[in-house]
Structure 1
Amino acid sequence: MRFLIGIFSIAILLHLALLPALAQTESSGPETSLIADAGGSWAGKRSLIIEPGLQYMHNSSNRIDLTGLTLPGLVIGLIQVEKVRRDILTPSLSLRFGVSEFFQVNLRVPYLYRSDKFTNRPGDTDLPSRTTYVDDQGLGDIEGGILFHLLKETPSRPQVIAGLKAKSRTGRDPYGLATQLATPGTHVPAELPTGTGHWALEPYVTILKVVDPAVLFANLGYFYHMERTIDGIGKVDPSDSVNLSFGIGYALNDKLALSTAFEQKIYSRAQVNGNKIAETDPVVATLLLGATYAFSQRTAMNVTLGVGLTEDSPDLQVSINFPIRFSF
């Protein structure tokens, strides 16, 4: 299967979480990380981390559709200019349980609130533009995974963690959703998806190296979307992606730490009935800036800001999480 071609990277999407690698040093700074959502944060033996979180994402794009015949200097047909503004608010609950010193299980349950704004303007200037607002909400795609602690850190080698994450399709499918007429010849959604509509697997590896008072990390992996037969469409094979990220976390004092990371996802083209679909292979790159404030040895607050670096990336992502640790 294609997901065995590579190993997945840190996706994050950007959440900060506690990183035991810093706790293993003599540094008095708080634990910090930008790799919790990718499964790189290690809870520790017989420890449970409960992490409520909230993420906000904003994205906007412009699109011009040409329907008709295009000749040098002349377009015969209908021109549609569309502007899309999308805001997504995602509260979630994550659980990370360290079964042993070398094995951990993860679970994340998201819920999405979506608000999309579509502005359509026909190329004929005699026709006014029309703005349509669509709001929706629902359970997202639940994720679960396992982690294996392959190598402990020594003075001459880094810490290595490998894992596998599975994404369900508990969210609302993007297929067969109701639409509504926006302008002559143009329809926009009347309801919005909260999931991808496909199961997915995410094998990955995370490498960590403590350089007191900082932690260097890098992640590499492969996100594999499983194909599915959709009534009225056929066999749909969504885009897969190779994911890469790297960054640094550094403690300022015993309460505050900062993190900086770069994340990139390179997608393959989606296929329908074996035919590749154009414009379905974006390159997403994000700059991540994070901060961790430790209230105590058990609780902390993590804030992450993500800024898109390419046209295909979300314009802005902001998340706040509150990891709470319990030991047994």
Structure 2
Amino acid sequence: MRYLHLLRLGAAGASALLLSAAAHGQDATVPVPSQEALAARLADMKAQLAEQRRLLDMLRGTLQAQQRRIDVLQGGAPMSNDWLGEQRGLGLQEGPLQQAAPDSGAPVAAPAAASAPTVPPSTPGPVVVGRPPGRDSRPPEVAPIFEQPGVLTPRGKFVLEPSAQFGYSSSNRVALVGYTIIPALLIGLIDVREVKRNTFTAALTGRTGITNRFEVEARIPYVYRSDATVSRELFTGTAVERVFDTSGKRLGDVELAARYQLNDGGADKSYYVAGLRFKSRTGRDPFSVVTDCVRRCVGENATGTGLPLDLPTGSGFYSLQPSLTWLFPSDPAVFFGSISYLHSFKRHDVSRLLRDGLREPLGTVEPGKIFGVNFGIGLALNEKGSLSLGYDHSTIGRTRQNGTVVPGAVRTQLGTLLMGYSYRLARDRTLNISVGAGLTRDTPDVSLSVRLPMTF
């Protein structure tokens, strides 16, 4: 208040000087002073005005410093996002803002701006010079490393995403047929198999936003597979290794998916996205390819390698997979993860195709259920690039045939360590690259995927 009083005194003094000069100029009875006296008086008035201006500038700087200190001291008062959103876009006012922050107990004054235009006195209340920006309720974007995306497509937008994925795996299997005389000596046959598997999948995915919280997606894959099996066949007693090559290429299983954002989320608040994916069996299933067996692939009449002559490109079962994805932004990182459950519907009257057009009846086949969980962290490197690290784990149950567990079927654990990088090529195009390394024996050794989503 002391600074405001000095400011008013300075302004009043300057006004008095100007009025005095005007009065002397209009009084005709006063003798006209000489030119030297007028020049001296004018110089003196200019010096006084300069001193008053310096004093006003000093007082204005002091007031601004005091206002900054008050703002810092009031920073501990809780302010809701709604109140802050209302204050954005408010122009210069006639006086201090009369709207107080919630729970602060006192009004907040707007800082003075030297270059801001003066508001006419007749203008009541605040002058709105812009619209407060709406709060973005969409989750933050991260480099995708899992199958399901975390950020939903905005309403009215369409995303076309071509992608390519390559996977390689190798496994060894040793089968012992015989009996043991002593622990170090086996009498019988040994079957050693080494399988090298390469899988390449090219897919075209399209998704669109029905609302800002709901999107639908369709994915059409094309699969090429090749296997190389090095083995010494059972029941032959040969010591010569044999290489068995097979491959398959065809349309894969078409997928349909829908995702819905359950909440708004925000800074230090989690986002939750629920998803449901349906997988068809448009690809060539394992029961329609020819198996290298003359009669049956089990029992005493087994002949041949027992391997398929052509590789399937689909699972052969309809599947439904619900999932729940969460994202938690904590600047400068974003934590994310999901849980899912894949249910494959059983098939009845299934038979396997053998050589010479023979069929081996299998009855009712029900694949094992798959429970999956993954988690990761995303880091923004700059305004265009981001890096993600994560881990994906799936537990596959045992397959059942005619209501009983298939002999030799075991629960399988798949663990993959993933790293992904995303770079924004343009406003509507982004390049996503991810690589995965298998951590368990049954997981593919390495997988590499490239995606190029384009927004229209």
Could you state the TM-score of these two structures normalised by the residue count of structure 2?
0.62
- Measure how far apart 1:34 and its partner are: 2.7
Task: Compare 204-213 and 238-247 and name the one that shifted more.
Answer: 204-213
Q: How much identity, in percent, do the aligned residues show?
A: 34
In the comparison of the two structures, how many residue pairs are matched? 299
Q: Would you say 1:276 and 2:413 are equivalent positions?
A: no
1:85 is displaced (CA, Å) by 0.4
Matched, 1:21 2:139: yes
- Helix, strand or coil: the match of 1:49? strand
1:115 matched to 2:226? The reply is yes
2:428 pairs, out of 272, 293, 298, with 298
Is the alpha carbon distance of 1:70 and 1:239 closer, same or farther for their aligned partners in structure 2, counting shifts above 3 Å? farther
Aligned-residue offset at 1:249: 1.0
- The amino acid across from 2:320 in the alignment is L
Q: Quick check: which one's strand share is greater?
A: 1
2:345 aligned with 1:226, yes or no? yes
- Stretches of structure 2 that go unaligned for 5 or more consecutive residues are 1-137, 294-302, 352-360
Amino acid at match of 2:229: F
Instruction: Choose the corresponding residue for 1:165, options 267, 277, 284.
Output: 277
Deviations 1:14-59 (Å, cap 9, x if unpaired)?
xxxxxx6236xxxxxxx53334x22533112211111000000000
Question: Hey, what does 2:156 align to over in structure 1?
Answer: 46
Contact 1:239–1:280 at 8 Å: present in 2 too? no
1:152 aligned partner, one-letter code: D
Partner of 1:85: 196
Q: Does 1:135 align with 2:247?
A: yes
1:306-321 → structure 2 map (5 Å cutoff): 306-321=436-451
Asked if 2 retains the 8 angstrom alpha-carbon contact of 1:22 and 1:32, the reply is no
| Aligned residue type for 1:57 | G
Where 2:140 maps in the other structure, the secondary structure is helix
Question: What are structure 1's unaligned runs of at least 5 residues?
Answer: 1-19, 24-30
Q: Distance in 2 between matches of 1:143 and 1:65?
A: 38
Determine which structure has the larger helix proportion and give its number: 2
- The 5 A counterparts of 1:185-200 are 186-200=305-319
Asked whether the 8 Å contact 2:255–2:279 carries over to 1, the reply is: yes
| Deviation at residue 76 of structure 1 after TM alignment | 4.7
1:322 is displaced (CA, Å) by 0.3
Higher RCO (CA < 8 A, seq sep 6+): 1
Distance change in 2, residues 1:186/1:77 (3 Å)? farther
C-alpha distance in 1, partners of 2:316/2:454? 32
SS in 2 for 1:22: coil
Deviations 1:251-285 (A, max 9, x none): 11112111101000011111011111333421000
Match of 2:335 in 1: 216
Task: Determine the structure 1 residue equivalent to 2:364.
Answer: 235
Change (3 A) 1:113 1:44: same
**1:239 deviation in Å?**
1.3
Given that 1:177 and 1:190 are in contact with CA atoms closer than 8 Å, whether structure 2 keeps it comes out as yes
Q: Distance in 2 between matches of 1:244 and 1:71?
A: 46
SS in 1 for 2:154: coil
Q: CA deviation at 1:185?
A: 5.1
- Displacement of 1:119 in angstroms is 0.4
Q: Within 1, Cα distance between the matches of 2:179 and 2:400? A: 26
**1:189 counterpart SS class:** coil
C-alpha deviation, 1:72, in angstroms: 4.9
- Change in CA separation of 1:176 and 1:67 when aligned onto 2, cut-off 3 Å: farther
- AA aligned to 2:415 is A
